[in-house]
Amino acid sequence: MKVLAFFDDDGTIVCAACAGVPSRFACKTCGSEEQLTGSQCGTCRLQERAQAVLAQDDGKIHPDLTGLYDILLSTPDKRTVVRWIKHDQVHGTLRAMATGGAPISHSTLNQLPPSPRIRYLRRLMVTAGTLPAVDVHLNDHEVFANCFLQALAPNHATILRRYHQWHVLRMMRQESEAAPISPNVDYRRRRELKAIDYFLSWLDGRGTSLERIHQQDLDRYLAQPKGIEIRTFVVWARRHHLMPQLEIWARRTGRAQQAISDEARWTAINRLVNDESLSLTVRLAGLFVLLYAQPVTTCVRLLHSNVVCTQTSVAIRFASTAIEMPRPVAQLVKRYLQSPTQRAIYRSPEHQWFFEGLMAGTHMSEANMRLLLHNAGLEPLRARGAALRHLTVALPARIAADALGISTGTATTWARLSGGTWKDYPGLRR
């Protein structure tokens, strides 16, 4: 985009080239007017800034940082990277790596105060091949846990370190082998560690300990709303004989949330189809929930390869069977694909996620998507319940399962709860 600061013969505001006059705003290095930042264009300014940060003492880019340099220069909006690379943590860390003051490794980043900016830098360096692949949220959790446990009283740290090492981390690493740890899992595990430390401090305040706890003390604490956060720990501690073999009463769960009415569901669908004030991200995710009973988890993990567009149709494969979208939804999908997000500093040419996240190579987080839907007045759980109720009545259980990604048993249960019956379907087909 060029600077429009001149008039042509007709009095229309145009750029310098169209007006036939020398530009007073062109980049002093290359003469371009694209993405101007000060006296230079974004590309020239970024080249200078990246060279200064990633160069060794001899002025050449560090060989191990050339991949990162190429990624930074490939970003659509160079000005974004110019501003990002100026931050002290990013600039100082990369400069130390380039000049040999710090190793080019995950351990260097682990020593920095945790922040979204450092997490982004880590993902960018992994994407560039500068650092080996790692589960970022699992790594962040381990760094947090080490710092947290070191700050605890010795008697608390001994118990918590054993629980965390042999139960929590073992489970998280197993989960990570199947899929990267989500921010929600990391957050929940951090809260659990803090809750257990609070529980042990509560016991200290009552003049007792985990080894000498009485049934009434355990019942009193588990009856509190925050007691649910330590139940897994209490079961583990009892199994490993770190506490008496006390009873752990089952907690009564709340009633299931009631699905919205069919009228409210179709009102929400019509709004998402027609309301241009809502973002395409919210409109499409909401329609996937309301029309096809997709959980937010499935929505954010939808791949571009799951979407098949032709001149006449759009089909999406949520499970094993592709579903052809109705025309209004198909048009929204095409619009969304033709206007990709530019929120990220780096966007891989072979990006795979339909709903891209801010971090390089990631999808939008479930928490962020839920927040966007709630802000738009949509409750995902209730909306999905209404869609399941409608679809399992309208379709045979096997077909609903193949199209929606649920089990046949779940489809049958929802159909029964909704008063539907497809038991005569095989006979009708014959």
Q: What is the DSSP string of 12-36?
A: -EE-HHHHTS--SSS-TTT---TTE
| 322, 316 contact by CB (below 8 A) | yes
pLDDT band at 151 (very low <50, low <70, confident <90, very high): very high
pLDDT tops 70 at residue 293: yes
* DSSP secondary structure letter of residue 147: H
Q: How far is CA 398 from CA 171, 316, 390, 393, 408, in A?
A: 33, 18, 15, 12, 6
For residue 203, give the amino acid letter.
L
Which of residues 116 and 189 earns the better pLDDT score? 189
CA distance 114 to 183: 14
Q: What is the pLDDT of residue 22?
A: 60
CA distance 395 to 415: 9
| 206, 175 contact by CB (below 8 A) | no
Q: What is the pLDDT of residue 425?
A: 47
Q: How far is CA 5 from CA 2, 23, 299, in A?
A: 9, 9, 45
For the beta carbon of residue 138, count every other beta carbon within 10 angstroms.
Answer: 19
| pLDDT tens profile 52-108 | 999 998 889 999 999 999 888 887 778 888 888 888 889 999 999 999 999 999 999
Alpha helices in 206-307 (DSSP H): 215-222, 231-239, 262-274, 280-292, 296-300
Predicted structure pTM score: 0.69
Instruction: Choose among 38, 25, 31, 119: nearest CA to 78.
Output: 38
- Percentage of the chain lying above the pLDDT 70 cut: 78
pLDDT tops 80 at residue 120: yes
Enumerate residues 6+ apart whose C-beta is below 8 A from 181.
Answer: 135, 137, 138, 141, 172, 175
Structure tokens at 415: 């159909």
Residue carrying structure tokens 């050339």: 66
- At 6, is the secondary structure helix, strand, or coil? strand
CA distance 90 to 386: 47
Q: What is the pLDDT of residue 403?
A: 65
pLDDT tops 90 at residue 148: yes
| pLDDT tens profile 343-366 | 555 555 555 888 887 766 678 888
Max mean pLDDT range (252-266, 351-365, 398-412): 351-365
CA atoms within 13 A on the CB side of 341: 21
| pLDDT tens profile 1-12 | 555 555 566 666
Alpha helices in 86-115 (DSSP H): 88-99, 106-110
CA distance 428 to 195: 57
Q: What is the pLDDT of residue 75?
A: 79
**Terminal CA-CA length for the chain:** 64
CA distance 64 to 345: 20
Domain ranges of the chain: 1-30, 35-127, 136-239, 262-429
pLDDT tops 60 at residue 174: yes
CA distance 209 to 212: 5
Class of 262-429 per CATH? mainly alpha
For residue 31, give the amino acid letter.
G
CA distance 347 to 117: 16
Which of residues 266 and 409 earns the better pLDDT score? 266
Q: How far is CA 206 from CA 132, 201, 233, 261, in A?
A: 48, 9, 20, 50
Structure tokens at 68: 């990162």
Instruction: Choose among 86, 98, 13: nearest CA to 57.
Output: 98
pLDDT tops 80 at residue 394: no
Q: What is the pLDDT of residue 71?
A: 87
Q: What is the pLDDT of residue 232?
A: 93
CA distance 246 to 219: 10
For the beta carbon of residue 104, count every other beta carbon within 10 angstroms.
Answer: 19
